[in-house]
Structures are given as structure tokens and as C-alpha cells.
Amino acid sequence: MRAAAFGTIPSAGGSRGLAEKGALLPPSGARPGYSARPMTIRTRFAPSPTGFLHIGGARTALYNWAWTRRHGGVFLLRIEDTDRARSTAASEAAVVDGLRWLGMDWDERLSRQSERGDLHRAAIETLLARDRAYRCVCTPDEIGARKQQFVATGAKWTYDGRCAEANHGPACGPHTVRLRVSKTGRLDWQDLVFGPSGQDAREIGDMVIRRSDGSPLYHLAVVVDDVDMRITHVIRGADHLNNTPFQLALYRALDAPIPQFAHLPLIVGADGRKLSKRRDHVSVQHFREAGYLPEALCTWLVRIGWSHGDQEIFSLAEIRALFSLEATHRSPGHADPQKLDWINQTWIKRLPAERLAAELQPFLAAATDADAAAAAGSDPGLLGLIDLLRERSKTLAEMSERARFFALPDAALAYDPKAVQKHWKPALRTPLAALRDALVALTAWEPAAIEAAFEATLAQHEGLGRGPLAQAVRVAVTGSAASPGIYETLAVLGRERTLVRLERALAAWPAAS
């Protein structure tokens, strides 16, 4: 039954409802019988190394990765480095690092399109030999002129086929090679996300597959590579929707099995248009440097265009266990930075303090200096501080800012002038000294005991409010008017450092005027 379905439909796949099931079957171009036993799913992510990993690309990679892992397939990474100008080892590394940082892995060895030139050239020769492609001596200028005339008719321009029957040989001078694309029939496929898709073959035209300098074009290279790598499912951005018919024609001309296609809706910017490098933050690297966790970025990206009931937060493990193309949307989605903030904080609240401490390290160093960050890193109070800070930090950068007071040496702590002016009232000096004495007398250095010392001090001083005392201490110990609960803060800072800071504040206390 399966075999029959694949034998009759050029690009089978069944309805959307059956898509996931069909996904386990071999590519639709396979002959009947060949499909009798399920074959391994093979997918790939094929970024061009532009110097950074784009969030759109990261999401495509994530969908590929998650779906493939879920189905026990093989996920490959292929660098599309045909554009020599932009392709450097550094920009390739940026893409690879980005993927690793997000938590993705891939199988077999990383491959590069540039390594496959021979394959592309051979494929073109074969097409030529079989007369499925032909040499074309039309120059860009000539075509441009003809195209301009054509535009008046209002139809979509396709190559007019002037050289199609000319039979130009290898020695015809500068020439391109064009694929013969049928002028009748349809180039259709069953998209795993978009459902029945395709268009009339005649609207495609005989497209160039080899430049006059002998280099192959993108479409030829991708198809040949995908065939060679035995890719069974092509999962990519919806910007390739329009490219698929021509690529279908290439698969046919190559007598190659046709993979299944799944196109993902694009991520758009705040104005609903394609993400722009100028307006929007598009690189994964940017978010990493701004203090977002990989878990947060993955959750954010996976939820644009896909959902699983009302669940908002997904670990990588959940993503790979739950992701399905069937539940993937068809409409483009906005990437909302505020939602990312919330997601990031949610992860900050969930992750173990040890993990956050490690992630925080570079941010702390940036907010203070290497020495201070190292000192904080080995301070036993750090994990406790992180537990206090996770409720008030949307990013690691923010957390590091709030942790500055802790990392800084006692003598280097600076006081916020406005906070001093507001909270260091001359009359508070005596109670503060009393509080210091109460703290010194403490046997246990923990929030409850510290609170008791505060209460005792308050009881000694008629009319003194809890707020003013807490604020005075807060400024003395953190330099700022905002911090986690004062008892917890002192507990985490430690007895010695607290007392040193109190002493230092007392010494700097303003006198009554």
C-alpha cells in the first residue's frame, strides 16, 4: 500500500495528518519495493558562513535537529561556502560555535559545499550528455533587453529558450548551461508543513545551472549535495518555497529520489517584515553576549511557529521529545524581545546555582574586573547570592550588575550619592552603631539571627522604623538603595565583610548640620 502510493504520486506524502507517519518512509522518488522497509531519516542544516549564526538559521537548525533526533535519524551539518568572498574559517567557526552553544550536535563529519565541486561539475556533464541541459550563449545584456520587452506583457519572465535547440558544443565560446525544464505539467510536492504545494512547470523556465566561468549555481549544488548525502527530508525556511519547483525539476533530471520537504515560516521583525540586520538583533552571538541562556534562546525560537498546548517553557530534551512538523505553523511570526526576557528569567529561576555561577563568571568580570570576579567565584556565599538574585535578573548581565557589590573588595565599594543623601540621615548613626554591636554579638550568622538583631535595635530606639534602618544598612553594605532582602544579603555577604562595611560607613557618616 505504501509502495503504491509512492509509485503513483511524484512527490508523495499524504495529508498533513499523515505527514509524521509518512516521514518515516523513504523519499517519495523511490521506486516501489524500494520503500518496503523503513529507512533512516537523514536531514541537514546548511548555513552559509556569514560571520555569525542568524537566529532564523538557528531556529531552522533547531527544528531540523529536534525532529531528526526525535525520529532517530541522522542530522548533518553542511557549510554552504560557495561564496568565497564571505566564507572564512572564522565565520564558519562562528556558526559552528553558535550551534554548539545552543546545545545542538550533528552526526558524521561536517562537510563543506566547496569540497564537492567535482561532484557538481560531473552532474552538469551528465545532464549535458543526456541532453537534459544545454549550453546557452546568450549574454546577460541580451537577455536583459529581451526581458524588458517581455515585462510589458505583464507575465513572469522566464528564459525564452533561444539556445534550447541550438545544440551548442563545448567550443561555442563563453556560455552558461541551462536545465531543460518541462513546458507542461506541474512541479508539485506534498509539503510537510504547507501541505499540497507546487506550480506549473512552464512558469519556471530553463534556469542556469552553470555560470560562464564554469562554476555551478546554488540550486544545482544543493540538489546534488542533498542527493549525494542521501538527505531524506529537507527542512528549511519558507523563503525557499519558491525555489522548490525548480529543484524538483533538477531531482527529476538527475533521476534522483526526491526527498520530502518541510518549509518553516519566517521570523519577522517588529514591523512584520523580514528581519533586518540594521534594525533587529539577529545574531545568536549578540544574545549570548547580552546574557541570555541557550535554554532561553531555544525556548524562544522553538515557540515561534510551533506550540505544544499551553506549554511555554521547553528544555532541549523536551523539544527533541515533543517537536513535530505537524504542529508547525504556516504564518510568519514576530520575535518578541520582551517574551525572551521573561523566558530567560524563568530559566534563571530554574537552573541550579552552580550552573549559573559558571555562566555568570564572564559577566561578572566585565562588570568588575578579573580579580574581583575570581574572588567572587571562590566565595562560599556566591551560590546563596545567586539564589537571591535569580528572582530579580532577566539576564546574566543584569545579575552581574546586581552582584557587583558582592564581588567588589570592601574598600572599593562606591556609594550611590543619591542613596546616601536619602538614606544616611545623621540621626541614624547611633542606631546603626547599635546594630553593629548587636551583629557582633551574634553567635549564628544567618537571616533569622540577623533579623533578631535588627528587631532588638529597633526596640532600643523609640520611633525608629524598620524601613529607614534597613535602607541605611543597605546603602552601607551594597552602595545602592536596591538589593535583595537585607537580612539575606548580610547573611550571604558574611560576618566579616558586613562588619567591615558597616565600620566604613560609620566612618563616612554625615554629621548633623
Partner RNA sequence: GCUCCCAUCGUCUAGCGGUCUAGGACGUGGCCCUCUCAAGGCCAAAACACGGGUUCGAUUCCCGUUGGGAGCACCA
State which of positions 424-453 bind RNA (CB under 7 A): none
DSSP string, 7-63: HHSTT----HHHHHHHTTSPPTTSPTTGGGS----EEEE-----SS-BHHHHHHHHH
Query: What is the Cα–Cα distance from 328 to 342, expressed in whole angstroms?
Result: 23
Query: What is the Cα–Cα distance from 313 to 343, expressed in whole angstroms?
Result: 7
Rule CB under 7 A: choose which of 148, 307, 421, 430 binds RNA: 307
User: Does residue number 182 form part of the binding site for RNA (CB under 7 A)?
Assistant: no
Q: Which residue has the cell 525572551?
A: 340
Q: Looking at beta carbons only, is 98 or 484 nearer to RNA?
A: 484
Letters for 257-276 (x = contact with RNA by CB under 7 A, - = none) are: --------xx-x---xxx--
Paired residues of 262 in beta bridges: 235
Rule CB under 7 A: choose which of 15, 88, 242, 430 binds RNA: 242
Q: Looking at beta carbons only, is 304 or 365 nearer to RNA?
A: 304
Q: Which residue has the cell 545602592?
A: 480
Return the SS3 of 456.
helix
Rule CB under 7 A: choose which of 486, 491, 493, 502 binds RNA: 486
User: Does residue number 467 form part of the binding site for RNA (CB under 7 A)?
Assistant: yes
State which of positions 361-380 bind RNA (CB under 7 A): none
Q: Spell out the alpha helix ranges (H) of 303-352.
A: 316-322, 337-350
Q: Looking at beta carbons only, is 73 or 305 nearer to RNA?
A: 305
Q: Looking at beta carbons only, is 141 or 165 nearer to RNA?
A: 141
State which of positions 192-221 bind RNA (CB under 7 A): 194-195, 197, 199-200, 203, 207-208, 211-213, 215, 217-219
Residue 277 annotated in active site = yes
State which of positions 36-95 bind RNA (CB under 7 A): 48, 80, 82-83
Q: Which residue has the cell 522497509?
A: 37
DSSP string, 253-300: HTTPPPPEEEEEPPEE-TTSSBP-TTTS--BHHHHHHTT--HHHHHHH
User: Does residue number 329 form part of the binding site for RNA (CB under 7 A)?
Assistant: yes
User: Does residue number 327 form part of the binding site for RNA (CB under 7 A)?
Assistant: yes
Q: Output the CA–CA distances (angstroms, integers) from residue 435 to 60, 243, 415, 426, 443, in the order listed.
A: 58, 74, 20, 15, 15
State which of positions 380-419 bind RNA (CB under 7 A): 391-392
Letters for 16-35 (x = contact with RNA by CB under 7 A, - = none) are: -x------------------
User: Does residue number 314 form part of the binding site for RNA (CB under 7 A)?
Assistant: no
Query: What is the Cα–Cα distance from 31 to 421, expressed in whole angstroms?
Result: 83
Letters for 276-305 (x = contact with RNA by CB under 7 A, - = none) are: ---------------------------xxx
Active site residues: 277
